[in-house]
Structure formats: C-alpha cells, structure tokens
Amino acid sequence: MSLTGQVAVVTGGSRGLGRGIALELGKRGAKVVVNYNTSIDAANEVVQLIKDAGSDALAVQADVSQYDPAQSLIKAALEFGGRVDILINNAGATRDVLLAIMSENDWDTVIATNLKSAYNCSKAALKPMMRQTYGRIVNISSVAGLAGNPGQTNYSASKAGMIGFTKALAREIGGRKITVNAVAPGFVPTDLTSALPQNLLDEVIKLTPLGRLGTIEDVAYAVAFLVSADAACITGQVLRVDGGMAM
C-alpha cells in the first residue's frame, strides 16, 4: 500500500500515536508534515527518521486547538508538498478527574485540543482536497468515546464528538472523493496513559479477548490502511483497534 507522491499532515505527530503514525506513513512513501506544539526536539527526531527511511518530512509548530495556527499548518504543508492528500487529526490531551471536582479549564482544554482541533484542521484542509477531488481524513478517537470512562467525562465527550464529526463530514464531502474515518484505539502505552496504575492495566488485559494491550504500531497500521487506495470505498466508519475490549 504505497503512499508515494502523497502529502500527509499528522497533528500531534512528535510523540506517542502521532509519532508512530507519521513514521508509518513516511515508511510507505508519503511526505509527512509533523505537527507539534511544544516538543520541537521530538518532532525533529521524527522528521530525521522519516528522511532516513527514504521519504521527506517537515516539522511545523502550531497549537491546532486554535483556528489561525491550524490554518498556518495546512498552508505550510501546501508550500512543502504542493498538495494535501492526508490529514490525521491526532492532537490530544487528558485532564482526568471526576466531574464533581473538574475545573472549567480541565474541560475546555481537553475539548479544544481533542475536538476543536479536528474542526480547525479539517476546515483548513478541505479547500485543497476539494480542489484536487481527493483526500483522506482520519480522526483518532478512542474506545472511551464509545463506552465512556469514569474520571474522563471531558476526554470521553471529546472522543465521542470526533465520531459524530467523522460521520457528518463523511456525508458532506463524499461526492468529492474524500473519505473521512475514525480509529478508536483501546489502551495503548503512550505518554497519555503512562500515569495509569498497573493494576488497572492488568484488569483491562483480563477483559480483552486478545489478552494484551494494543501497540502504537497496531494503530499506525490501521491508519495506513484507511488512507490507502485499498480503502477507497470506506468512509464514515469507526475502526476499533482494541483487541476486542469494547466489542
């Protein structure tokens, strides 16, 4: 499933799932714009690894929870590659706390970083995608957006919102040969899950039919499939990568 000649933008691409996705798309030949907010060294490392693998990449700083920086990110991608074929809305944040004691800032930060960023970047990318009559948008949701998770009302709401956003946008722009899908990972060891206690992870594994946590590579492979030509007739779908946990 070669992506040679295509230009991909991965938000939150310097660490965790975003890093893995960026590396996988680069390995398959795509030119990758690695978006980051604060982790410039990590972003530059991803860029170098993609170049070492034989493709090209560019690190671009932008707080995609804000509209204007998201516009600038897509503009930079167009200047870099001449087009935007793939957008991965992966930027994410957690502020886990019970709703009864959750601050307004905890709520607003997670909704803006996880959900509003998908609006900001997708809106910016739509114009070039519609002009070229081609595009692939993949939104990184979560099983928490399907089943909820205590202590994560903000995170679960943002990820459920991404699923509704995915389905509505898929209906809007399918006629332009632009697909919009979501990937919903289960528990995957990343910076966002590093604070989870081991006993909780052990319980998750017990409840998972495959008997293991997912990996960053598992998620990256799913994303690579959805942006490939092999998935040309798949849109508006939510692909769970959770070992069957939320089945």
* Catalytic machinery residues: 155
Task: Write the CA distances from 230 to 88, 185, 220, 226, integer angstroms.
Answer: 17, 21, 16, 8
Length in residues, the chain: 247
- 175 and 231 Cβ atoms separated by less than 8 Å: no
CA pair distance 95, 106, nearest whole angstrom: 6
CA pair distance 160, 185, nearest whole angstrom: 13
Reduced to 3 states, what is the DSSP secondary structure of residue 203?
A: helix
Residue 98 CB neighbours (<10 A): 10
CA pair distance 137, 206, nearest whole angstrom: 33
Amino acid at 49: L
Amino acid at 140: I
List all residues 6 or more positions away from 163 whose beta carbon is below 8 Å from its beta carbon.
Answer: 139, 141, 145, 146, 182, 184, 238
Give the tokens for residue 225.
């499939």
Amino acid at 74: I
Give the tokens for residue 37.
């907010």
